[in-house]
Structure 1
């Protein structure tokens, strides 16, 4: 076997075979898992996972542990999300992003499981979370590798299948519901750990440069009249973003996912039928208006035809799912989050759907082998080559938001 070169404290070492040697802190975490899982003898295989534009703040790896325990042969499949050392993103507090995800998997997910267990919520009615390992450390999130169980993701350019959208909206409603249950059952913990969470986005000059840069791609998709309306709309985008994320006076708030998009939702199929979804990626958690998560999800992964047929039904489904979930805890949805408030907030914050879609769609529609590295490149000069299919998606967005009076 090839003798491995010594690797530094935080870097992965790649062997000529393509296998990876984990840095010492991460290897120590895997060793703890090996011990806790009861392995007597074992071997591990470490592999890198291509993000294909689905993750911008981490290196992704999988570790397969195979060996013998007192009960016989065993295999443990692990997914690792490892912090990059050289991230240069100025529009996010990256350190806080990792702190938030460690908080979710290290504390909150366990508390949420306890809350759901005590309420005897049926498996099919629960908020789904990936199993995490206590060996998770500040620089890495260590989870069960659900790819080994057939889970995958919807591709960035794909219009969300209806069943996927329905299951995802139901999960989102339960996620928000758990926040309100937590507030009721553990008010001191909620006040200390949740209500204080602010968005990690930095709406600064670099963010404005990113907006302007992405506009050079989306403007090409529309006619001159629409371009004039877009440019007028975009002149106040930063202030609109600050208002939506930080000005929640008079709004009913809860813990928001912050990055609830198709790439961050694992999906499992039985043949062609989608049977289950599991949300992941909790790096952008914040305390804010729940409608923001709904809007954030809907617009980047749907086209005009989908929205014309299904948008109102998905809004109804979100609210009905929230109502059903809260009943397990003897909580009345109209007392927690009245439907009239939900509708008011939706109309008030609808413009966010256009803003976010205009910013992210050029990247979502870039082919896998041409996705830019936003952790190193200047966001103001980031170069992408969107697939021609983006044109129709953008035109549909602009047309819808004209009809709704936003443009």
Structure 2
């Protein structure tokens, strides 16, 4: 190990060039990880440049870095573009172990998603029909996740402050359905693995933590104070203790065992756009992955990404698209969806889980719609002490949710 480390250091000193600013940007372990990548990619000469990426409210548990490696191999010129999620330091989040969160994402990239790719390949799923993943480098650790920089491949994110388009929603819901469907494939093809590695995964939050309860209350009151109907405000205040009680129940109790993404929102979806249309989508950020009811992901997505107008026009279609996509996708694996997620059960559970959309959005939406310049920095301030500022469109988005749940008989 010492010889290998010395060899990598020699590559840096003798055959490579690093921008001076990089010395302060990356830690020694991360520098060694980049050295390892440079060695494996067989660079003979190279230049490494890194830069910090400004947080704009889309990420709360990491500092972000990009690294570009340009140089030559014996086969010619070569360039690698890398995106790094660096763990934040500090003891500000008492209800969440950040190291456990990173270990969970490491498990997703190093193990689970590779199995999913292999299962799709063995089933000869057409490339355009597969669940898409991003390359993760083996040098990733519990301190940092090293990925291909999708932006350099033409991917981008949509404006998280604006409701998504129908085109975006269609593709993102299809990908979500395929991700969930692969849990059923795994359960059938590798039952012991599913039982030992997937089923034990629980949501990483400590719901009994007082800071967690304070955060939910504080963020919920941002929504309540922006509610237009005074009669509804009282009902929403009464909803807070119910939310604190039922959220853990919704995460823990499920009649459908499925691996959930846990944070499926528009900021965690990278898209390639051509002529204004989304042509490919890759989900990222598997830090909150857990085994539970897949409808949690769908509800979380719908009520953080869409507005009332979208739901009036397309919610029924999106609901059907999700299950129809799962049905079709599972046929590649000779699996009948009725054996794992029958349509009748789906329709029933959908109605039962609608209130999860309200309970999650009441405290999540203020965080999701915090302006970039006012986005909270969890590495500096305890979440329960953060005073949220919301975007100007928050009020209309939130009251659209209130209006829907009033119309549906929940408020």
Which TM class, normalised by the smaller chain length?
Answer: over 0.9
Over residues 208-235 of structure 1, what are the superposed CA-to-partner deviations in whole Å (9 max), with x where a residue is unaligned?
2112212332122222101011112223
Does the CA-based 8 Å contact 2:22-2:50 persist in structure 1? no
Match of 2:381 in 1: 377
Match of 1:405 in 2: 409
The two structures have a TM-score, normalised by structure 2, of 0.92
Does the CA-based 8 Å contact 1:19-1:45 persist in structure 2? no
Structure 1 distance, partners of 2:293, 2:275, is 37
* Alignment of structure 1 residues 69-148 onto 2, 5 Å: 69-148=73-152
Match of 1:3 in 2: none
Determine helix, strand or coil for the equivalent of 2:349.
helix
Match of 1:237 in 2: 243
Does the CA-based 8 Å contact 1:59-1:83 persist in structure 2? yes
Does the CA-based 8 Å contact 1:89-1:376 persist in structure 2? no
Does the CA-based 8 Å contact 2:295-2:350 persist in structure 1? yes
Match of 1:161 in 2: 165
Distance 1:378 1:84, change over 3 A: closer
Match of 2:307 among 289, 303, 320: 303
Aligned-residue offset at 1:253: 1.4
Of stretches 15-24 and 41-50 in structure 1, the one that deviates more from structure 2 is: 15-24
* Alignment of structure 1 residues 3-402 onto 2, 5 Å: 20-204=24-208, 205-222=210-227, 223-248=229-254, 251-402=255-406
Aligned-residue offset at 1:15: 8.3
Structure 2 distance, partners of 1:16, 1:36, is 24
Aligned-residue offset at 1:364: 2.2
Over residues 274-299 of structure 1, what are the superposed CA-to-partner deviations in whole Å (9 max), with x where a residue is unaligned?
11110000000111001111011110
Long gaps (5+) in structure 2: 1-17
Distance 1:252 1:304, change over 3 A: same
Aligned-residue offset at 1:19: 7.4
Of stretches 210-219 and 329-338 in structure 1, the one that deviates more from structure 2 is: 210-219
Aligned-residue offset at 1:171: 0.4
Structure 2 distance, partners of 1:365, 1:292, is 20
Structure 1 distance, partners of 2:264, 2:290, is 12
Structure 2 distance, partners of 1:91, 1:303, is 30
Aligned-residue offset at 1:87: 4.7
Does the CA-based 8 Å contact 1:20-1:48 persist in structure 2? no
Aligned-residue offset at 1:388: 2.4
Structure 2 distance, partners of 1:185, 1:58, is 35
Structure 1 distance, partners of 2:295, 2:370, is 28
Over residues 334-380 of structure 1, what are the superposed CA-to-partner deviations in whole Å (9 max), with x where a residue is unaligned?
11210111112111121111111111222222221111223432333
Of stretches 80-89 and 37-46 in structure 1, the one that deviates more from structure 2 is: 80-89
Structure 2 distance, partners of 1:405, 1:15, is 60
Aligned-residue offset at 1:18: 7.7
Structure 2 distance, partners of 1:224, 1:25, is 54
Does the CA-based 8 Å contact 2:19-2:48 persist in structure 1? no
Say how many residue pairs are matched. Answer: 392
Aligned-residue offset at 1:271: 2.8
Long gaps (5+) in structure 1: 1-13
Aligned-residue offset at 1:91: 2.7
Structure 2 distance, partners of 1:375, 1:213, is 19
Match of 1:8 in 2: none
Distance 1:15 1:67, change over 3 A: closer
